[in-house]
Structure 1
């Protein structure tokens, strides 16, 4: 591990890895959310109904749920350099497909496939944890997450203007296509310049692949239970698209997809048993154990923070447009302001977590999230627009800081499983996005914000009762069989 002091204005060693990583993440989020600020133009060109718009919003986060789990496993096994480069190339190609879509069905398929790009975030979490010591990892992960997540805000701030620059009814296509080209080009830069670990460091890999390792019988059953919401979220998407709701799928296709979701769940539960069944006959040595409840609580916290952000960022431009008498360009820019606070919120949350503790920081941020959303539920057309924007920014600071606090804790759970822990927490963020967007399609925007606030209150209670600070040390088994103790606080 590189133990030089934290230097942000540098492009050497661990700082180079940080800059390469947040830029990769920035580009993935620019691609992932390039549709949101341009949705008014897309809606007009294709004559989309409200149901079809909601369908695109749901599809945009659907694939990210299983993708983050898969990418978490791949990055632990193959290393971040290769995996991030693959994510960038694949997402760039799919993005070009969305830009050239001619029918709603093509829009829907390409938007669904673009959910894959949202899994790129997981890669950088493992990469940065390899380069930064525990006393700095929260701040570094916060910079990575915050500056990278700003890609969503940058999309809102820049793409409407870029579409106007290209001009014509297809200006939005050129703007979207530009982001895809950028992703493909940057993949080559990242592959050429990034390295998985500092020179001489060991890249710890899971003992088995296909499922996360757990270290006690209780954790085995908790891990199985934690997998259920991932499948339920996918089933909810199928239900929402089915004949009883949006009517985008036939009965045959709907039931076929239900079967696929069930088979995916059954296969995952089988892999959990294959990887961890030995704990029922041979207990894991005490030095190699970790509390899986920490993973479960981080999942739920990230669902309250990033899951709500996904939903809010997706709906906020149209919400401002429909609530206030403003132009589509201004609505896109104001909608993007929610993600704008990533620049300071995530690094701030990580930095504070490094200094005052992970649990206390998580409690503070969840309290702010709850208060912010409950206040946002009171916004209406009679409010002064500047006051509404200030409230959105206030709420966003705590949302982003909560994300920073989560990923200040993720690398300290178990080093060799960092990618998988990050992937599962990230997947729960997308579960939140799906669930909250589904709620949005059923209730008014004001009630939607009430639901977000009440959910944060519930997670706040669970964290206060069950979350622990990380142990002062964790251990990993070296390739030669020796045990290495790693300081985490």
Structure 2
């Protein structure tokens, strides 16, 4: 029988709401900063004369730095409180955001992109912070609401093209405020400072620190469990691939379908919205039906959609006697993926990722209630590292094969491996629980 917490006092509920609201807004902004090169990369490519591989590394290094510190950030949030860690991160990220707007070469831009990518580590801080404030039976929904800050990936998709077109290239105040694409990171630098001030002033003064006083070795001990690394692989599928596609899809639309940047950005947002805004729904489903069952739904949706998207345009050629065809050839089963079916299938992938991200993190407080910062940080780190490796992998495989559809073949293969591993684990657990039934009943889902 699940034990529920006693009703919280009004002051406690207000404090929880303040933490959830400010952390979600801060994470939305940090996520927008982290993935801004998905849209800015197009005018940057034009200005600096970059190849597709060079452009992919610009996004990749930002994703890398937004991944490697997640374990550390989660542990620090558990030990010193999410408020001080999150606020500090906002102020620190404002510095490289400003420097991006001043970059004069590809090498400088690559360095500043790496530094500004630090914004991505805010996720594990927010997960640990909200987990500390919310009771177990509300954590799935609360973490889902916080995680919906992933929608920040679409912020630049909406404002970027309009700002680039409307702000003069010379900027304002004699160039003190840069123009064109450079105005976007400059604006983000200002907003990061303002968000840091708001978070410090309007969240509870007395924070919760579940890891305070615990030895570091004890906090890292759960990392030895295989299930932690399995959860990390799931998160590569639902989050790492989400990050990679958020940065990659604008270029895909421009290069494959010949769309202008503003249309490519808007259609990419149709992927980002469900992949972000459905995260609270995924948290609710995980609370209601169980995280494992939701992961089955997630993998099924992604496998179906990516399995179709990975098929290249073309047709089958049959060799026939000249009696039937003058040239001895007949083309059959023509297949061409147009922009609207493509967008619909990518939208389905976004749905799967949206509900799946919450389901992965629902596992963590269930198995490791005292180590959400460390475990959540590791899972987030490894998942986000998938977002680092995937854009260059997309670029190299496309260059090697000449087929842009290899992007979705990689996603299909990654999802298939994760789904098979999860299902084999489920079967093993069921056989251990009831070995006498192993040959009598097929698995019918979680009870």
Q: How does the TM-score come out when normalised to structure 2?
A: 0.81
User: Cα distance, 1:342 vs. partner?
Assistant: 3.4
Task: Give 1:248-397 correspondences, 5 Å limit.
Answer: 292-378=225-311, 382-397=336-351
How far apart in 2 are the matches of 1:386 and 1:164? 26
Instruction: Give the structure 2 partner of residue 433 of structure 1.
Output: 387
Looking at structure 2, the residues matched to 385 and 159 of structure 1 have their Cα atoms a distance apart, in angstroms, of: 22
- Equivalent position SS for 2:215: coil
Q: What TM-score comes out, normalization by structure 1 length?
A: 0.74
Matches within 5 A, 1:89-104: 89-104=91-106
Structure 1 gaps of 5+ residues are 224-291, 470-489
Distance 2:105 2:272 in 1: 30
Is 1:188 the counterpart of 2:197? The answer is yes
Aligned ranges 1:3-402 → 2 under 5 Å: 4=7, 12-146=14-148, 148-168=149-169, 170-195=179-204, 203-205=210-212, 207-209=214-216, 212-214=219-221, 223=224, 292-378=225-311, 382-402=336-356
Tell me what 2:368 maps to. 414
CA contact (8 A) 2:151 2:273 kept: yes
Rg: which structure is higher? 2
CA distance in 1, matches of 2:129, 2:349: 29
Going from structure 1 to structure 2, the CA distance change for 1:135 and 1:363 (only over 3 Å counts) comes to same
User: Aligned in 2, Cα 1:211/1:89: closer, same or farther, shift over 3 Å?
Assistant: farther
Report if the CA contact (8 A) 2:141-2:284 is conserved. yes
Specify the alignment match of 2:411 in structure 1: 452
* 1:252 match: none
Q: In the TM superposition, what whole-angstrom CA distance separates every residue of 1:217-256 from its partner, at most 9, and x where no partner exists?
A: xx7xxx3xxxxxxxxxxxxxxxxxxxxxxxxxxxxxxxxx
Is the partner of 2:278 in helix, strand or coil? helix
Could you list the runs of 4 or more consecutive aligned residues of structure 1 that deviate by over 4 angstroms after TM superposition?
Answer: 1-5, 379-382
**Aligned counterparts of 1:328 and 1:162: Cα–Cα separation in 2:** 12
CA distance in 1, matches of 2:87, 2:232: 26
**In the superposition, relative to structure 1, how do residues 194 and 334 fare at CA in structure 2: closer, same or farther (>3 Å)?**
same
Structure 2 spans left out of the alignment, 5+ residues: 171-178, 314-334, 399-403, 431-447
Counterpart CA distance in 2 for 1:450 and 1:206 is: 47
Q: For residues 92-145 of structure 1, what are the alpha-carbon distances to aligned partners after superposition, in whole Å with 9 as ceiling and x for unaligned?
A: 111111111111111000011122110001111111112222222111111110
Tell me, yes or no, if the aligned pair for 1:2 and 1:132 is still in contact at 8 Å. Answer: no
Distance 1:342 1:3, change over 3 A: farther
CA deviations on 1:422-443 (whole Å, 9 max, x unpaired) are: 1101111122112322321221
Q: Could you tell me how far apart the structure 2 residues matched to 1:168 and 1:379 are?
A: 40
2:305–2:345 Cα contact (<8 Å) kept? yes
| Alpha carbons 2:37, 2:58 under 8 Å: kept | no
Q: What's the CA shift for 1:404?
A: 1.1
Partner residue in 2 for 1:473: none
Number of residue pairs aligned between Structure 1 and Structure 2: 389
Farther off after superposition, 431-440 or 448-457: 431-440
Contact 1:63 1:112 (8 Å CA) reproduced:
yes
Q: Which moved more, 1:135-144 or 1:327-336?
A: 327-336
Return the alpha-carbon distance in structure 1 between the equivalents of residues 45 and 259 of structure 2.
Answer: 18
1:443 counterpart SS class: helix
| Map of 1:477 onto structure 2 | none
Q: 1:206 to 1:367 in 2, by over 3 A?
A: farther
